[in-house]
Chains A and B, each alone.
Chain A
Amino acid sequence: MKRRTFLAGTAATAALAASGAALAAEATKVGYIFVGPIGDLGYNFQHNLGREEMQKALGASVKSSYVENVPEGADAERTLTQLALAGNKLIFATSFGYMDAVINVAKKFPHVKFEHATGYKRAPNVSTYSARFYEGRAVIGTIAGRMTKTNKIGYIASFPIPEVIRGINAAYIHAKKVNPNVEFKIVWVSTWADPAKEADAANALIQQGVDIIMQHTDTTAAMNIAEKKGIYAFGQSSDMAKSGPNAQLTAIVDEWGPYYIKRVKAVQDGTWKSEDTWGGIGAGMVTFAPFNKAMPEAVAKEAKDMIAAIGSGKYHPFTGPLKKQDGSVWLKPGEVAKDGDLLGMNFYVEGLTGSIPK
């Protein structure tokens, strides 16, 4: 994985933007809006990293800009309009909550193309895109199942939405597969980013004998605690090795750069079409941070084989036989989950204890 410090990254973009300005007449203007700060070292950080990658790859033919910390609602609609008025030809809205704002603004600017991340509403000039993060969860579930000594794995979850539930299920199924004694302890923190609360949750899990922590929240707090307490954890969205050089087994890294390059090029060629992209490991949208050196060779190989199998389409992480938590059959042997069911997933699979908060 390429890692850059945040500052070096912005300096590079600034230089590129400056060189792009000279050729502004021809440069395709591309705008981004982010729901949080680009310095969150998580979700928004990765989207911005993708933007920088795109800017670097396409050089002076593109002039990209962004607005961060845009609340959903009226502000999103205004900011999207502002980007359209400023002459951006392609606009990426990177948060689920921007969905209706994107549709509304797209109606007013039929000649501008919009791309909305993680949503499901499309229009002739609105595409949607997302990543199959559950594929990554399947891999880290496998690693966790192999690496745990106490057979207790902690999971810090944000809100009970399909994306999060899918991740828990994928991780649990694969941990259980390699280690039948494994047990998941799930803590819902009701926030995407509150480092203190995430740290407390990590501590609470450790007190319950957990020796590996997974998270579906945005900050590095759990990783920092894992490092401090000498246990393992998995990074979320970004490579968090700087926060936990010894603790991080690997991280599921969101890789948006290739997609952004492809879509901007499509606008430049005039081949852009409204479509829905849900890419995973195979599409290069879900990648992994370098594996921890403490991981035994056999475990690393097993994980890499699984990455390859999922990437080539040979294996689907949700393949039957699988039962729901209540014991009813979800997938028959050999049956593969339909995307529609995955998108709206609102149940635990068999074996998970506790219930999804309602």
Chain B
Amino acid sequence: MDLSAINPAVLIASLMVSATPILLAAIGELVVEKSGVLNLGVEGMMITGAICGFAAAVETGSPVAGFIAAAVGASLLSLIFAVLTQYLLANQVATGLALTLFGLGFSAMIGQGYVGMKPPLTPDLRIPILSDIPVLGEILFRHDLMVYVSLALVAAVWAVLKYSRVGLILRAVGENHDAAHALGYKVIRIRILALMFGGACAGLGGAYLSLIRVPSWTQGMTAGAGWIALAIVVFASWKPWRVLLGAYLFGGITVLQLNLQAAGVKVPVQYLSMSPYLITILVLVIMSANRSRASLNAPASLGKSFHASY
């Protein structure tokens, strides 16, 4: 077994790229769930973002326009979910699944004309001076803009939830919507805004796949990334920094598995392909064994419909 062929710095750098789509989607879903809504349609919003972003980037020649279009497109899709669950009080689990089904079909339909195309390239930023630091520079300072955007989003969500009034209101709505309503907060409006934010983040994640990580458009290209993002939110017990940890851990195992193979290390492929999921389960068990803390963090109103009955 020759592990020396794997350069840890390069490995970490590539796991950051591989984890960014799920990180973006997961941080958005975290905000949604903190507001008390469970949207299982992340996969559908991601794939919609992937095609909207791809199409816009190809048409305009600008990746930035692509990312904006992805965020807008996916957050419009999340509005369908918002209207159904917030105004029409539809079941959130079923609506989320329907959103995924619709998103997959809808994206494949618009995507027909974009198969096999090459999007405009998003340049890697080589941050001056910093990127020349040995090892660290390679790991941290030679990425594309979206990697930093995703990290900034995690920090922003953490700060807003923890320190700002907006965060306080959001958490209040998620914990006890009746009490929040009684205090005069517009529960439905807040939840819709959270859903749109979640949609926009999922859309960015999808566009990261189609514009940077792959970069091309293929029908159904998210291949389950949205479900992983959902898992990571719970895995992180609704804490932003743990979402980052979860996404990098998950991305890391996938990348490591492929890198081991490429380096010629003999690995049981099928079983290794299962490993990210098994390890996620294992970590979940370890974390929830300390059951009081994990369950305390779950928003109390998660998944429940709100209807002001007076």
Contacts and interface: CB of A to CB of B under 8 A. Distances in A.
Given A196-B18, A201-B258, A204-B255, A242 B117 contact: yes
B221 interface: yes
Interface in A179-229: 185-191, 193-197, 199-201, 203-205, 207-208, 210, 219-221, 224-225, 227-228
Given A207-B14, A208-B5, A353-B264, A41 B115 contact: yes
Given A195-B218, A197-B223, A228-B215, A185 B113 contact: no
A222 to B, nearest CB: 10
Contact of B254 (A193, A197, A208, A243): A197
Interface in B201-216: 209, 213-216
Interface stretch (B31-39, B148-156, B267-275): B267-275
A188 B215 contact: no
Interface residues of B, number: 43
A240 B116 contact: yes
Interface string B109-152: 00111011110010000000000000000000000000000000
Contacts of B11: 207
Interface in A139-181: 154
Contact of A357 (B225, B264, B269): B269
Given A7-B112, A187-B258, A224 B216 contact: yes
Nearest to B121: A228
B262 A204 contact: yes
Contacts of B309: none
Contact of B14 (A194, A204, A220): A204
A344 interface: no
A191 B218 CA distance: 14
B216 A243 contact: yes
A225 B264 CA distance: 21
Given A6-B115, A39-B219, A186-B261, A224 B269 contact: no
A12 to B, nearest CB: 15
B259 interface: yes
Contacts of A45: 115
Contact of A221 (B216, B268, B269): B216
Contact of B261 (A194, A204, A242): A204
B113 A199 contact: no
B89 interface: no
Nearest to A36: B219
A196 B259 contact: no
A203 B270 CA distance: 20
Interface in B1-48: 5-7, 10-11, 14, 17-18, 21
A41 B111 CA distance: 12
Contact of B270 (A190, A193, A225, A353): A190
B165 interface: no
A39 B111 contact: yes
Contacts of A203: 14, 17
Contact of A224 (B215, B223, B264): B215
A71 interface: no
A97 interface: no
B262 A196 contact: no
Contacts of B215: 224, 228
B262 A40 contact: no
A102 B215 CA distance: 37
A244 B5 CA distance: 28
B291 interface: no
A328 interface: no
Contacts of B283: none
A5 interface: yes
Given A39-B111, A242-B117, A196 B209 contact: yes
A355 interface: yes
Contacts of B229: none
Which of B264, B266, B269 neighbours the largest number of chain A CB atoms within 10 Å of its CB?
A: B269
Contacts of A224: 118, 214-216
B230 interface: no
A155 to B, nearest CB: 10
Contacts of A205: 262
A44 to B, nearest CB: 10
A200 B254 contact: yes
B247 interface: no
Contacts of B268: 357
Contact of A219 (B5, B14, B216, B264): B216
Contacts of A221: 214, 216, 218
B255 A200 contact: yes
Contacts of B255: 200, 204
Given A41-B116, A187-B262, A357-B269, 14 more contacts: A40-B218, A41-B115, A185-B264, A190-B270, A195-B216, A195-B218, A200-B14, A207-B14, A208-B262, A225-B214, A242-B118, A243-B116, A243-B117, A355-B266
Interface of A: 5-7, 37, 39-41, 45, 154, 185-191, 193-197, 199-201, 203-205, 207-208, 210, 219-221, 224-225, 227-228, 238, 240, 242-245, 353-355, 357
Which 4 residue pairs spanning A and B have beta carbons closest together? A204-B262, A357-B269, A204-B258, A41-B116
25 contacts: A6-B116, A39-B219, A185-B262, A185-B264, A187-B258, A187-B262, A189-B258, A195-B223, A196-B209, A196-B213, A196-B214, A196-B222, A197-B258, A200-B258, A201-B258, A204-B258, A204-B259, A208-B5, A208-B262, A220-B216, A220-B218, A225-B214, A243-B118, A244-B118, A354-B266
Interface of B: 5-7, 10-11, 14, 17-18, 21, 108, 111-113, 115-118, 121, 209, 213-216, 218-223, 225, 254-255, 258-259, 261-264, 266, 268-270, 273
